[in-house]
Amino acid sequence: MELQHGSVPYFYTNNQAIATRAADHLLDRGFKHFAFCDYARSPINGWSQEREEAFVKYVKKRATPCAVFQDLERLKDIRDAPNWAALQRSLGEWLRTFPKPLDVMAANVPVVRRCS
């Protein structure tokens, strides 16, 4: 990872460690079905993609495939009710396709709030 010097400090997270610790926690509790809810790809959320890729890779190595939901680009503004309703329907339809119990790891807390 190349660090760029700028006027605003930035702290990098160890996304691989976050993902593998989360997966171990869930695997140790007996989960067998996994999914990841993520932001749509953009130039500013590489951390999210790193976290997703690490989680999916680790779960596949230890258990079963892991599906990924990236439909959050449909929600451009939290105040946009039609998009919010469409996102909720789309996510609900997607989640119903999986056997239960299902563990869903989200990229971060704002994604959890959007997915709940």
Look at residue 108 and give its three-state secondary structure: coil
Spell 80-110 as b/e; 16+ CB within 10 A means b. Answer: eeeeeeebeeebeebbeeeeeeebbbbbeee
Query: 15-115 is classed in which CATH architecture?
Result: 3-Layer(aba) Sandwich (3.40)
> What local confidence, expressed as pLDDT, does residue 55 receive?
94
Task: At 104, list the tokens.
Answer: 């869903």
Lowest mean pLDDT among 14-28, 30-44, 69-83: 69-83
Tens of pLDDT, residue by residue over 33-56, are 999 987 767 777 778 889 999 999
For the CA atoms of 1, 112, 80, 44, what is the dihedral angle to 10 degrees?
0
Q: Which amino acid is at 69?
A: F
| Highest averaged pLDDT of the listed ranges 3-17, 46-60, 64-78 | 46-60
Average pLDDT over residues 9-28: 88
> What local confidence, expressed as pLDDT, does residue 84 receive?
67
Give the pLDDT band of residue 73 (cuts 50, 70, 90). Answer: low
Average pLDDT over residues 3-23: 79
d(CA 78, CA 67): 25
Q: Is the predicted pLDDT of residue 81 greater than 80, yes or no?
A: no
Query: What ranges do the domains of the chain cover?
Result: 15-115
Tens of pLDDT, residue by residue over 53-66, are 999 999 999 878 89
| DSSP code string of 28-67 | HTT---EEEE-PPP-TT-HHHHHHHHHHHHHHHHHSS-EE
> What local confidence, expressed as pLDDT, does residue 103 receive?
87
